[in-house]
Amino acid sequence: MKPTTQSLTTDTAIRNEANRVINALNHSSYPIEPIVAESVIESLQIVAESLDLSIAKTLNVRLIAIRNNIHVNQIQRSA
């Protein structure tokens, strides 16, 4: 899929939501359960895959890390 302004906006929105979940997962004062983070990231990944967005692969990596109790970093904006 050739990137369009709309797809870039959607990509950014999905990245921002994933980062909010990752922040909550790693927050010391009010962490969320990994299963909650896994569920949200998995949902975002399915949306990204259905729209054929590049962020889908990154979300898959984060999802695998969460499932394996590996520290998850924020998703950086692609160049």
Q: Report residue 75's pLDDT band, with 50, 70 and 90 as the boundaries.
A: confident
Percent of the chain with pLDDT over 90: 52
Nearest to 67, CA basis, from 36, 46, 43:
36
Instruction: Name residue, tokens 């990752």.
Output: 22
Residue 73 pLDDT > 90 = no
- Rounded to whole angstroms, the Cα distance separating 26 from 31 reads 6
Q: Report residue 58's pLDDT band, with 50, 70 and 90 as the boundaries.
A: very high
Residue 2 pLDDT > 70 = no
What local confidence, expressed as pLDDT, does residue 79 receive?
A: 44
- Rounded to whole angstroms, the Cα distance separating 11 from 53 reads 6
